[in-house]
Structure formats: structure tokens, C-alpha cells
């Protein structure tokens, strides 16, 4: 029986693979046989004619892909949104399709120039007429989706395509009658898969395997219970049969060479309008502004990549390239995201890059009160290491105590309104906490090109250094240490027991003694093994001179702890002359504050070890205050803790033998941190050698 359903097709008179605009076309230029293509197309034409009415649009010479009439536009009722092809190779088809639609009484909408949308190739109606699924990522732009919603008065669900083989939505997604959905999940990003799963019940989802997907099984024409496609595996056919669909296979191999099959070769032009549908697109757009050395520092590329990686899309509205070498550039970028949720994620990352959300620029930040002590309101803005400002009562306030992983709390004090980073546990009932992402900006230092290239720490932007670069880094760190010392600055060291085990103790002692270190952070272990070595000559029971285990040596560290406990503190043990050398000795003698955070192994602990982690945290942050540089020496967890409390701008050097640790620590997205993969004992020894070479005082030449 022929139903009243109509399809538009275009005969393959001029069909060929003439260019490459998708991966299927690669290597296939002029490789398809015209005769076979005509034969396959005719067969498809007749199969469809058995079930529906077929209209034809005249093929045009020079436009070989015009056979793929799915890309003519998107039809709903009397309305059609005409395609705007991304590639110039197909743009010439537009007027021919437009003419056909107009001659056949359709109301044609055309999108703004430069806003690609490839018709029914990228937009598929739910067969129950409930909504429109629209793809983006390769051909159609996300920003076209709100137009579809408005003109066709329908809800649009945006799906992001990730696999370039499935560059059009109809190559991997096919809504079927009765609410079924045939699709290839591997073609979509995880967010889109979640959206699909939320909309389509599990029993209605027919997920296919890659082998079927590459045969274009999803590129199917569905007329009631018939599903017409190039090819399907036996298991797919039986899966479809189970739910009442009959597969008709008709080979379309010649068209696969251009990246299309059954569905691409047809356009359904009778699409009934659903009953209770309404215009709605969850696509959101915002305009952000960025300023600084956008090109030199790679900020703009990072911002644009980030938007796309997170599932959004962008349009650069303005880009003002600084005229002189020293000038900064400014950009305004329109960001679109498929939902509010994704938009929030994108914007908060862009803020980290220094972007300002433009319309919000005139808006105050949104505040919500804390209603349970120690718990922030949902959607609270998570602070970063970058200097941040928030807009309260039309004024930008600098956030105090800048640190990572906190909430920003606003309070009224005698000196006016204050914004402060607070840890979750410190939030008190009544505190007002910044939520959402409005009225928040981070301030990125706009150093000049010269500064960046000449500064000692310019090498730091290159991230993790290993092997041959170690010496260069050591040289730079030595200069930096010298400079900080000469200017009365502050260097804090985080050290693990490995410093002692690898023989780095004596070098660290020298750094402390010679005034290069202003604070020491660690745990119970570094202090214990340091004193063990200096009292008993072993480190964890190993003789440090001979490198062999000493009999009974495994008890050494406990004996040391016990001795120090007898005196009541490390300082007292030093005073009593029990501890005569070592890192802890030097700290005590030189009045260098230290904090030992915890011992989960619970050996002892030393009387100085702070077993209350919250208090330990407080001690740490007190010592870090005002630091110019932090040297992280083989102590992963203490260093991560320290990294989180340290605002951007503080130079960090992370040394560890394990590259994964170094990467983790130095990857703060800030140029002031560098990782060094090497033995920490060796690093310290090279560092002291290097410092010895710096005889003449460093002369400051920047500032
Ligand atoms: N060669 C054509 C292109 O790349 C194939 C179009 C396939 N059409 C479709 N609806 N998937 O544009």
C-alpha cells in the first residue's frame, strides 16, 4: 500500500566523487561507477516507491552531491529551513533546492550567512513528532539550532557528533516509528549520550555496533514498519524484527564512497506537525571578553579549544590585535552551549583563563546564604589559584585568601564588604556564598613579551623537564633562589623522607643554613629520618655511608622518636645537644619555622607532629603566606596540599623521580610552575654546586 508519505530524490545523472569533504570520499575520487550508481539509485527509488510517493528535483551539472537530497533543507509541515552548506563544494546546490521548495508551495526560511546547517542530514524529527534531534560538531553549527526551534516551533535537542566518519547526524542516528531509536552511541560525546538516554527509554533504544554503523545501517529510511538501508547484520535484522520492523536491504556501495546511503539520498517532505509541541532550544549563548597577550600567550587558542572540547561552539565577534609589540589584544567571543549545565562548565573554565562574561559584566555576582554550617549552597563557584574579583553592589572586590578549592564568602565587616576564599568546613550559617558564574573575573598578569622571554622562569612554561634539561632548570632555580635571598624574599620547602634516603639531607641543611629557606613543610617522616641519620647514622635502618642495612636498624627510627619525646620537642632535643646536625637541627638553630603534618603510620609521633589535620593545614598556610617560591621535594601529598593553598604567581618547582607525580603537581595551568623528573638527592646536590658558582650577587634587571 502506498501511504501519503512523500520523499524528494534527485537522480544521479551527474553523481561522482569529485572532491573530498568527508573521510569516506578520501581515496575515492572518480572511483565510483556511474552505471552501478544509477542501477543502485534506481533500485532504491523503486523500493521507496513501493511504500511512498517520490518527487524528483532535477539534477544539476557540476553539483555531484546533489543526489543527497536529505541535505536540501529541513521540512516540517509547510515550512522548510534551507540548508547553508559548510563547504563551498556544495553551496551551489542551495538555489536549486530553494527553487524546488518554492515551486512546491513551501515557506522557505534562510539562515544568516556563515551559519552552516545541512538540513535533514543533521536534523531528524522524532517520529512521534515530539521534538527535533539536531546534530552539530562537523557540518552544522550549534547556533543554527535556536533558529530551527523558532521557525519550526519545535523543541530542539542538540547532539554533538565526535567521530568524523559520522559527520552528519543521519549517518549514526535514526528515529523510528513508535518511539524507537536506531543509533550508534560511539558517534556522540558522553553528554549527548546522556541526553539520548534521558529522552528514549532503554527498551526503545536500539544501539548498533560499529560494524553495522560503518555499513550505514543508521542511514535508513523508515516508512511505518519498513526500514530501508544499505546493509544490516543478521543480528541487527533480528533485533529490529523483534520489535516489529522489517529491514529491506538495497546495496548503495557506490554512494558510500561519497559518505552517504539510503537516508541521505532522500528527503521526507511530508512531516506532520505534532500536537502539543512548542518552540524551545536549550542552546544558550553568552558573550565573553578576553584581554591580554591573547596570541603570544596562546590564551585565545586555549579558550576556543576549550569551548569546543567541552561541547560548545563559538563565534569570534571582535578581535582587536594590538598594534605594537607591547600592546595587548582584546577579543569578544560568543559562546554557545547545548544546555545551561554545559554553559556553566564552559564559562567557569573560561573565567580561569581570564575571560569576563560580558552581559554579566554589568551584573552583580549571585549570592546564596549558607544554611548548614560547613556546607556550601549547590552551584557554588569553586575558587582557583588565580587572583579573583567579584562584583558586589556594583563594585569589584578583590577576593582575599585566594586559594584553590574553596568557596567565596562575602561578609559585612567594620571595614566594609569583604570577599574571602573559605574552605567548606569554615563556612558558617549566614555566610553569603558566590554561586553561578556571573560577576566573577580572574585577573591574569599581562606580562610583556620581553618579560616573558627573558625572565628566569620563562622556561617554566615548558612544563615538566627531565634528563638533560635538569641541569638547565637547576641553574635557573639557583639564580632564582639567590635573587629571592638577596631581596629578602621567602622560599618554602616541602620535603618528603626520600630527601634523606637519597642523601639530599646535607644539601638541604646547607640551603637552610645559608638563608635560602624560610619555611619547611613535611610530615612526621622527614624529621624522624633526618634525626635518625644524624643521631645514629642510618636512614630507615640503612647505613648512609655504606648503603647496607644495619642489624636492628629497623628499630632505629622509633628509638629516635622516643628520645625526642623524652625531651618534649625537637627544639629541646637540639638544645640538649642530642640532635647535633641535620635539617631539623638547622631549622631550630636558624629559627626557620616548620610544620610536620601527621603520621598515618603513627610511629610515635614526634611531639612536634601535628596530628590534627585541620590544625596542620592552618600551620601550613601560615608558613606559606607571602612565599615567593615553593620547592617541592619528593613529597606528593604534602605538595598537593601546598599547591592548593598557594595562589597563582608563586613560583613552584616540583622535583620527583616519578613523572606522574611531577606532572600532577606542575600542571596548574600557570606558567610559574615547573616539574623536574630526577632523583631528589641529586637535584639538591646539583643545586648547592650551582649556588656555589654564583659568587657575584645577582643584579636585579627587571622591575
Ligand atoms: N558527499 C556528501 C557530503 O559530504 C555526502 C552527504 C551525505 N548526506 C547525508 N545526509 N548524510 O556532504
**What's the mean pLDDT in 543-570?**
85
Query: Using a 6 Å cutoff on CB, does residue 169 contact ligand 1?
Result: no
Q: CA–CA separation, 442 vs 439, rounded Å?
A: 10
Alpha carbon of 122 to ligand 1 centroid (Å) = 10
State the pLDDT at residue 4: 86
Residue bearing the CA closest to ligand 1, atom 7: 260
Query: Using a 6 Å cutoff on CB, does residue 68 contact ligand 1?
Result: yes
Per-residue pLDDT band for 294 (boundaries 50, 70, 90) equals: confident
Query: Using a 6 Å cutoff on CB, does residue 260 contact ligand 1?
Result: yes
Per-residue pLDDT band for 671 (boundaries 50, 70, 90) equals: low
Q: Which residues contact 692 (CB under 8 A, 6 or more apart)?
A: none
Alpha carbon of 95 to ligand 1 centroid (Å) = 17
State the pLDDT at residue 77: 92
5-19, 76-90, 190-204, range with the lowest pLDDT: 190-204
Q: Which residues contact 513 (CB under 8 A, 6 or more apart)?
A: 586, 590
Look at the alpha carbons of 506, 652, 491, 612 in this order and tell me if their dihedral is positive or negative. Answer: negative
Query: Using a 6 Å cutoff on CB, does residue 168 contact ligand 1?
Result: yes
Q: CA–CA separation, 542 vs 551, rounded Å?
A: 9
Per-residue pLDDT band for 362 (boundaries 50, 70, 90) equals: low
Alpha carbon of 69 to ligand 1 centroid (Å) = 9
Considering 51, 145, 168, 556, which one is annotated as catalytic? 168
At residue 315, does pLDDT exceed 60?
A: yes
Kindly report whether the global pTM for this prediction surpasses the value 0.75. Answer: no
- DSSP 3-state of 426: helix
Cell digits for 475?
641553574
At residue 663, does pLDDT exceed 50?
A: yes
Q: What residues pair up with 85 in beta bridges, in sequence order?
A: none
Element (H, E) at 484: helix 468-486
E strands, 340-406, where?
356-357, 366-369, 388-392, 395-400
At residue 698, does pLDDT exceed 60?
A: no
Query: Using a 6 Å cutoff on CB, does residue 83 contact ligand 1?
Result: no
Query: Using a 6 Å cutoff on CB, does residue 259 contact ligand 1?
Result: yes
Alpha carbon of 484 to ligand 1 centroid (Å) = 62
Considering 10, 264, 421, 587, which one is annotated as catalytic? 264
Per-residue pLDDT band for 124 (boundaries 50, 70, 90) equals: very high
Cell digits for 52?
511512498
Residue bearing the CA closest to ligand 1, atom 9: 264
Distances (CA, A) of 115 to 95, 139, 307, 456, 641: 16, 10, 18, 46, 47
Query: Using a 6 Å cutoff on CB, does residue 264 contact ligand 1?
Result: yes
Counting from 1 in the atom list of ligand 1, the atom nearest the Cα of 167 is 11
Cβ contact 580:565 at 8 Å: no
Query: Catalytic: 10?
Result: no
Query: Using a 6 Å cutoff on CB, does residue 65 contact ligand 1?
Result: yes
At residue 129, does pLDDT exceed 60?
A: yes
Cell digits for 660?
606522574
**Residue of 14, 65, 69, 89 to test ligand 1 pocket, by largest number of atoms within 8 Å of CB:** 65
Per-residue pLDDT band for 334 (boundaries 50, 70, 90) equals: confident
Closest CA to 521 of 426, 649, 640: 640
Higher pLDDT: 78 or 286? It is: 78
> What would the pLDDT profile of 201-232 be if each residue is shown by its tens digit?
999 999 999 999 999 999 999 999 999 999 99
122-126, 175-179, 294-298, 575-579, range with the lowest pLDDT: 294-298
At residue 241, does pLDDT exceed 90?
A: yes
Cβ count near 393 (within 10 Å): 9
> What would the pLDDT profile of 377-411 be if each residue is shown by its tens digit?
988 988 888 889 998 988 889 999 888 889 999 98
State the pLDDT at residue 536: 85
**Residue of 68, 138, 169 to test ligand 1 pocket, by largest number of atoms within 8 Å of CB:** 68
In terms of Cβ atoms closer than 10 Å to its own Cβ (0-12, 13-18, 19+), residue 55 is: middle
State the pLDDT at residue 448: 43
Distances (CA, A) of 593 to 315, 519, 529: 52, 5, 18
**Residue of 121, 213, 218 to test ligand 1 pocket, by largest number of atoms within 8 Å of CB:** 121
Query: Catalytic: 168?
Result: yes
Nearest-5° Cα angle at 22, 19 to 24: 90
Q: CA–CA separation, 290 vs 303, rounded Å?
A: 9
Per-residue pLDDT band for 460 (boundaries 50, 70, 90) equals: very low
> What would the pLDDT profile of 35-47 be if each residue is shown by its tens digit?
999 999 999 999 9
Query: Using a 6 Å cutoff on CB, does residue 257 contact ligand 1?
Result: no
State the pLDDT at residue 276: 58
Torsion region of 424: left, alpha or beta (phi above 0 gives left; psi -120 to 50 gives alpha) = alpha
Alpha carbon of 259 to ligand 1 centroid (Å) = 6
Alpha carbon of 226 to ligand 1 centroid (Å) = 23
Nearest-5° Cα angle at 666, 613 to 703: 105
Counting from 1 in the atom list of ligand 1, the atom nearest the Cα of 263 is 10
**Residue of 32, 213, 260 to test ligand 1 pocket, by largest number of atoms within 8 Å of CB:** 260
Alpha carbon of 146 to ligand 1 centroid (Å) = 23
At residue 454, does pLDDT exceed 80?
A: no
Q: HSE (CB half, 13 Å, CA atoms) of 520? A: 32
Counting from 1 in the atom list of ligand 1, the atom nearest the Cα of 170 is 11
> What would the pLDDT profile of 140-153 be if each residue is shown by its tens digit?
999 899 889 888 88
Cis preceding-peptide flag for 683 (omega within 30 of 0):
no
State the pLDDT at residue 457: 47
State the pLDDT at residue 603: 78
> What would the pLDDT profile of 472-506 be if each residue is shown by its tens digit?
889 889 999 999 999 999 999 999 999 999 999 99
Counting from 1 in the atom list of ligand 1, the atom nearest the Cα of 118 is 10
Alpha carbon of 68 to ligand 1 centroid (Å) = 6
Q: Which residues contact 339 (CB under 8 A, 6 or more apart)?
A: 158, 282, 283, 284
Closest CA to 590 of 513, 667, 530, 528: 513
Alpha carbon of 22 to ligand 1 centroid (Å) = 8
Distances (CA, A) of 587 to 484, 558, 608, 692: 19, 21, 13, 21
Amino acid at each position: 500500500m502506498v501511504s501519503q508519505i512523500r520523499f524528494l530524490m534527485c537522480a544521479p545523472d551527474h553523481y561522482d566523487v569529485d572532491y573530498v569533504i568527508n573521510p569516506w570520499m578520501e581515496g575515492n575520487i572518480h572511483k565510483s561507477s556511474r552505471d552501478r550508481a544509477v542501477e543502485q539509485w534506481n533500485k532504491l527509488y523503486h523500493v521507496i516507491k513501493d511504500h511512498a510517493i517520490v518527487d524528483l528535483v532535477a539534477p544539476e551539472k557540476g553539483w555531484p552531491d546533489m543526489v543527497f537530497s536529505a541535505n536540501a533543507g529541513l521540512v516540517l509541515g509547510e515550512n522548510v529551513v534551507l540548508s547553508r552548506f559548510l563547504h563551498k563544494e556544495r553551496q551551489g546546490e542551495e538555489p536549486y533546492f530553494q527553487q524546488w521548495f518554492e515551486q512546491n508551495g513551501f515557506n522557505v526560511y534562510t539562515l544568516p550567512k556563515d551559519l552552516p546547517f545541512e538540513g535533514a542530514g543533521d536534523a531528524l524529527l522524532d517520529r512521534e513528532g515530539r521534538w527535533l534531534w539536531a546534530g552539530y560538531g562537523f557540518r552544522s553549527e550549534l547556533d543554527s539550532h535556536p533558529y530551527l526551534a523558532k521557525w519550526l516551533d519545535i523543541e530542539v535537542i542538540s547532539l554533538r557528533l565526535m567521530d568524523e566518519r559520522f559527520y552528519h547526524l543521519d549517518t549514526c542516528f535514526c528515529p523510528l516509528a513508535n518511539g524507537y531509536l536506531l543509533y550508534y552511541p560511539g558517534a556522540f560525546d558522553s553528554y549527548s549520550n546522556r541526553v539520548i538516554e534521558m529522552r528514549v527509554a532503554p527498551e526503545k533504544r536500539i544501539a548498533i555496533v560499529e560494524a553495522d554503523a560503518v555499513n550505514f545501517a543508521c542511514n535508513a529510511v523508515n516508512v511505518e514498519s519498513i526500514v530501508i538501508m544499505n546493509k544490516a547484520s543478521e543480528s541487527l535484522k533480528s533485533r529490529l524484527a523483534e520489535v516489529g520492523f522489517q529491514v529491506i536491504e538495497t546495496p548503495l556501495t557506490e554512494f558510500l564512497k561519497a559518505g552517504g546511503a539510503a537516508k541521505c539520498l532522500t528527503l521526507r517532505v511530508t512531516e506532520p506537525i505534532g500536537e502539543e509541541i512548542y518552540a524551545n532550544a536549550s542552546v544558550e549563548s553568552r558573550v565573553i571578553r578576553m584581554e591580554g597577550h591573547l596570541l603570544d600567550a596562546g590564551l585565545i587558542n586555549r579558550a576556543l579549544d576549550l569551548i569546543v572540547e567541552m561541547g560548545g561552539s563559538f563565534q569570534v565577534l571582535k578581535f582587536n590585535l594590538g598594534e605594537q609589540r607591547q600592546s595587548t589584544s582584546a577579543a569578544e567571543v560568543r559562546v554557545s552551549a547545548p544546555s545551561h549545565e554545559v554553559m556553566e562548565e564552559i564559562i567557569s573554565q573560561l573565567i580561569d583563563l581570564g575571560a569576563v562574561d560580558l552581559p554579566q559584566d554589568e551584573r552583580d555576582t549571585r549570592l546564596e546564604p549558607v544554611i548548614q554550617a560547613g556546607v556550601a549552597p549547590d552551584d557554588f563557584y569553586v575558587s582557583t589559584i588565580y587572583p579573583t574579583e567579584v562584583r558586589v553592589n556594583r563594585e569589584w572586590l578583590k577576593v582575599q585568601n585566594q586559594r584553590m578549592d574553596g568557596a567565596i564568602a562575602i561578609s559585612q565587616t567594620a571595614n566594609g564588604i569583604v570577599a574571602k576564599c573559605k574552605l567548606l568546613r569554615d563556612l558558617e550559617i549566614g555566610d553569603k556564598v558566590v554561586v553561578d558564574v556571573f560577576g566573577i573575573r580572574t585577573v591574569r598578569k599581562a606580562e610583556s613579551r620581553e618579560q616573558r622571554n627573558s625572565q628566569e622562569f620563562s622556561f617554566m612554561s615548558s612544563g615538566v623537564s627531565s634528563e638533560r634539561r635538569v641541569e638547565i632548570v637547576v641553574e635557573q632555580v639557583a639564580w632564582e633562589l639567590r635573587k629571592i635571598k638577596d631581596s629578602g624574599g621567602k622560599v618554602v620547602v616541602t620535603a618528603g623522607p626520600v630527601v634523606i634516603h637519597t642523601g639530599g639531607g646535607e644539601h638541604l641543611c646547607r640551603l637552610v643554613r645559608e638563608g635560602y629557606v624560610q619555611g619547611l613543610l613535611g610530615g612526621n617522616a622527614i624529621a624522624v629520618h633526618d634525626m635518625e641519620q644524624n643521631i645514629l647514622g642510618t636512614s630507615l635502618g640503612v647505613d648512609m655511608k655504606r648503603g647496607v642495612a644495619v642489624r636492628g636498624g629497623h628499630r632505629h627510627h622509633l628509638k629516635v622518636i622516643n628520645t625526642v619525646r623524652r625531651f618534649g620537642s625537637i627544639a629541646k632535643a637540639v638544645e640538649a645537644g642530642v640532635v647535633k646536625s641535620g635539617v631539623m637541627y638547622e631549622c631550630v638553630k636558624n629559627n626557620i619555622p616548620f610544620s610536620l603534618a601527621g603520621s598515618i603510620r603513627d610511629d610515635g609521633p614526634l611531639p612536634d607532629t601535628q596530628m590534627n589535620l585541620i590544625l596542620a593545614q592552618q600551620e601550613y598556610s601560615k608558613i606559606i603566606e607571602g612565599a615567593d617560591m615553593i620547592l617541592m621535594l619528593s613529597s606528593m601529598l604534602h605538595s598537593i596540599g601546598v599547591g592548593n593553598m598557594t595562589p597563582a604567581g608563586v613560583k613552584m618547582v616540583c622535583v620527583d623521580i616519578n613523572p606522574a607525580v611531577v606532572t600532577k603537581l606542575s600542571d596548574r595551568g600557570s606558567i610559574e610552575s615547573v616539574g623536574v623528573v630526577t632523583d631528589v638527592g641529586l637535584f639538591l646536590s646539583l643545586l648547592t654546586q650551582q649556588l656555589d658558582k654564583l659568587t657575584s650577587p645577582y643584579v636585579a634587571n627587571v622591575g
